[in-house]
A and B are shown apart, each in its own frame.
Chain A
Amino acid sequence: MTIRTMNLIVYAALAVLSVLVLRAVSEIPVTMPGDVGSGFLPGFLAWLILGLSALGALRAVLAGDTGSFRSEYLGRVLITVGVIVGFLLSWQNLGFFFLQCFLFLFGLFTYYRWPHGPSARLFAVNAAVAAGITALCYVTFTFFVFVDL
């Protein structure tokens, strides 16, 4: 995908967002004399985004193609996002935060460091660092920040 295409997709998404905002604030009444109402600023901003997106789209078309929008290691980013989603769902529904925290860290360390080649040392180091960070989080957030995780 080219940068221009990606830019145009983002401008289109912003335009859709603006329309949704305009719909959401269109029926908010003005209740105070002299006041512009609760919906004025969001509505004005939505129109501004529409205008700026149109300007940006026009500019993108005029400027021509300026290279490709590619992400190296996209798979790694997507897998990480998937792991975060899984971790959040599991934390939200099952609890046991610190156990899951250790597994989350150990899993990601192992995944990222897999190119080094699997070995007992790699697993041991990953587990030790994951346990250390989990312990640090436990001490910090339980005894200093007083958060019930």
Chain B
Amino acid sequence: MDMLSNLDLVMLGSAALSIMLGLFVGMLFGALPGLGLIIGVTLLLPLSYAMSPVNSILMLLACYQGAEYGGSISAIVLGIPGTAMAAPIVLDGRELAQSQSPGKALAYSLYGSTFGGIFGGLVLIFFAVPVARFALQLADPEFFLLGVVGLLAVATFGAKDFVKAMISVTLGLLAGTVGLDLFTGSSRLTADFFELYEGLNLVAVAVGLFAFSEVFMMLSGRINKAYTFEAHHMKISLTFREMLGALKAMISGSAIGSFMGVLPGVGSTVSCWLAYSTAKATSSTPEKFGKGSGEGIAAPDAANNATVGGALLPFLALGIPGSASIAIIAGAFIIAGIQPGPQMMRNNPELIQTIFIGFMATTVGMFFMGKALTQVFVRALVTPNSFLVPAILISSLIGIYSSKGQFFDLWVALGLGIAAWIMRRLDYSVAAFVLAMVLTPIIEVSFRRALVLSQGDYSIFYTRIYSQVILAAIAVVLGFAVLKTIRRLRDARRAATTQEAAQ
């Protein structure tokens, strides 16, 4: 009995350390402009090989949560959002930091993030099990169609150019087919490289596409630029009255964030702008927005962190990741040999409960770490890219090598990094690529198993009511995509005509 309780303590201790590591890396990478959430999660993923599944999943979730708050640190202190999601926070965060104190603005951000994180966590806890229970009624045709609708939504809502996003998705799906076929065992697209028989290494792909390409982007700019700021009045706390004043904005932001997080491809960038405008529209002091309003900071920050819980819902309950960050976190499940989805919810209730409890713990941990260490992260902002780039490169290289011990993966990552650097500048979506690659086994296996069961009869994909509902959703998304593409083409032609006329 004593041994068991000791074991629990050891497990708790290691889980707490994993969460702290994830939070630290997340906040640091979120705070440093140009790096951000995905690179933080990507660089931590290789550590999953040396950790228990629960610890690695909690570490990555903590990194996700921490980066959402970290992005606001540079938005408030420097006026440069550390992540795209923190862009609306600049509007009021910078103003409040200059007019009152950076500590007060950071406090609104931290309290908003914590509130949003807890709200999103509760949404996850209360809805994941019912959604998974419902998902048990779904069969292979529906899972195939859900995968398709997820990818279409990411290409439509999450990218600038639909055609290029669709090419990114298709390339990602193609990359996912590399290796031995799960059905027949025959090798596909391996070019006789035995290293490819198990498929492309997800760590190498993610690090190459996100970390290497970002490093090359950083190198294309001014790498010796050092940010300066005055680090005074950094006490991060709110009075009870100030907290109450921002409560309504936090609630609306959290509700919006949780809902938008569930939708594939939408993510926190859209949700925090929507949260900002909703908070402004419902505020009793809308005139203060843009001039240092606490509500204007708390609402988007709450939405940011609530999105995490929302985004986890379809992933845990259905096994379908809705964003690149969740797709990389899915990598930790894949490494541990766990298949997320309704079966996991039914067969592994202990794991799910641990994830739920751990998720809430990451939010509480974020609050205390934010209070204690925000000043450290603020000071890290002065690190110029000339130091960051080599450090990221070496940790990326070690991370890739440590995942499978293959030099082959390092070359793959470098090649993909160079390709992604060019493709990103042409508006291709690397996030859609990774998401599609992770979804390939679900889509292909569901599609082929459904056909084998129906003896090759394609009507299995549209005869069930659930399939029909998802097909209707696909039609709506495609219609939206066509409209968006036509509008974009018209705008491009108009711009070209104006340019020619001006010349």
Contact = CB atoms under 8 A, between A and B. Distances in A.
Do A and B pair up? The answer is yes
Interface of A: 3, 6-7, 10, 14, 21, 24-25, 28, 31-42, 45-46, 48-49, 52-53, 55-56, 59, 62-66, 69, 71-74, 76-77, 80-81, 84-85, 87-88, 91-92, 101, 104-105, 108-109, 112-113, 115-116, 129-130, 133, 137, 141, 144-149
Contacts of A49: 167, 170-171, 174
A7 B163 CA distance: 12
Contact of A146 (B50, B181, B499): B50
A147 B496 contact: no
Most B Cβ at <10 Å: residue of A38, A66, A133:
A38
A31 B174 contact: no
B456 interface: yes
A56 B167 contact: yes
Interface of B: 46-47, 49-50, 163-164, 166-167, 170-171, 173-174, 177, 181, 183-184, 186, 188-189, 191, 215-216, 219-221, 223-224, 385-387, 389-391, 393-395, 397-398, 401-402, 405, 407, 410-411, 414, 418, 421-423, 425-426, 444, 447-448, 451-456, 489, 492-493, 495-497, 499-500
Contacts of A149: 398, 401-402
A141 to B, nearest CB: 6
* 10 nearest A-B pairs in the assembled complex, by CB-CB distance: A64-B496, A112-B386, A108-B390, A38-B181, A147-B402, A63-B492, A145-B50, A34-B456, A34-B452, A34-B455
B170 to A, nearest CB: 5
Main secondary structure of the interface of B (DSSP, over half): helix
Contacts of A10: 422-423, 426
7 contacts: A3-B426, A33-B456, A34-B452, A49-B170, A64-B499, A81-B414, A148-B405
A52 B174 CA distance: 14
A7 B428 CA distance: 11
A7 B447 CA distance: 33
A36 B492 contact: no
Main secondary structure of the interface of A (DSSP, over half): helix
A6 B425 CA distance: 10
A109 B389 CA distance: 9
A36 B495 CA distance: 46
B167 A53 contact: yes
A105 B390 contact: yes
A45 B174 contact: yes
Contacts of B177: 41-42, 45
A32 B173 CA distance: 22
Contacts of B405: 147-148
A99 to B, nearest CB: 13
A116 B216 CA distance: 21
Nearest to A37: B184
A45 B173 contact: yes
